[in-house]
Amino acid sequence: MPTRVPERSGFRVVADYNRFWHFLLTNLQIARNLIENGAMESKPLGAGSTVQLDLQEITHIISSTIDFPDYSEVEGLMIPVVKPEWVDFSILKNRIAHVRPYTPDPRFFLCGIVATIAELPVGDKEAICGGIIAMGGQYGSSLTKFTTHIVALNMDNVGLGRLSPP
C-alpha cells in the first residue's frame, strides 16, 4: 500500500500518489512543479547508458515524443504518456487533467481538437464523429467555449448565427 502524500497547493495527485518519469525534458522546472505539488519522480533502475524504468510504479510519463525504448510496453500497460503542457494545465486547474488532449503520439494528430457538427444527416454525423475520436480529437454535441472546430455545410445554420468569420 503506497504511503499517502499530503495535498499541496490544492493539486491532488491520482490514487494517493503520482509517480512520473520524464524523457527529453529541456525544462526541469516541470519536474520541480510536479514535485512541489505532491508527485514523486521515479528513478531509473540500474546504472549505465540505457535507462530501464520500473513500470510497476510509474503512473504517468511526461515526454514530448513517443520515441523511447519502452513505449510499446508502456502503451500495453496503459500508462499515460503526456506532453509537458499536461503538467501546467493540471496544476493550473488544481486537478489531474484528461490525458487524451495531451498525447505526444502522432497517430492521434487531432488531439486538442474539440469539434461539433451542425445539421448533417445522422449517418454523416456519426462517421465524422467516429473519425475525429479515432484520430485523438473530441466531439461535443453543442457549440461551447471549448469548441475549436465546426463541421457544417454552410454558415446559415441556426446555432452558427452568432459566429463571425475571421
Check whether residue 18 and residue 84 sit in a common domain: yes
Check whether residue 140 and residue 60 sit in a common domain: no
Check whether residue 117 and residue 96 sit in a common domain: no
For residue range 89-127, what is the model confidence (pLDDT) as tens digits? 888 888 888 888 889 999 999 988 999 988 888 999 999
| Pairing outcome for strands 19-23 and 40-41 | parallel
State which residues form the domain around 154.
Answer: 109-160
Grid cell at residue 89? 494545465
pLDDT value for 10: 32
Check whether residue 123 and residue 92 sit in a common domain: no
pLDDT value for 129: 93
Check whether residue 99 and residue 115 sit in a common domain: no
Q: 1 lies in a domain?
A: no
Q: Helical H runs in the chain?
A: 29-36, 71-76, 85-93, 122-134
Q: 132 lies in a domain?
A: yes
Check whether residue 20 and residue 99 sit in a common domain: yes
Q: 4 lies in a domain?
A: no
Give strand pairing partners of 52. 45
pLDDT value for 27: 59
Boundary-marking domain end, from 83, 104, 125: 104
**Predicted structure pTM score:** 0.67
CATH number for the domain harbouring residue 153: 3.40.50.10190
How do the pLDDT tens digits run along the chain, 166 residues long?
Answer: 333 333 333 333 333 345 555 544 445 777 788 778 777 777 666 665 566 667 777 788 888 888 877 788 888 989 888 888 888 888 888 888 888 888 999 999 998 899 998 888 899 999 999 999 999 999 988 888 888 998 888 777 656 655 555 5
Q: 3 lies in a domain?
A: no
Q: 74 lies in a domain?
A: yes
What's the total number of domains in the chain? Answer: 2
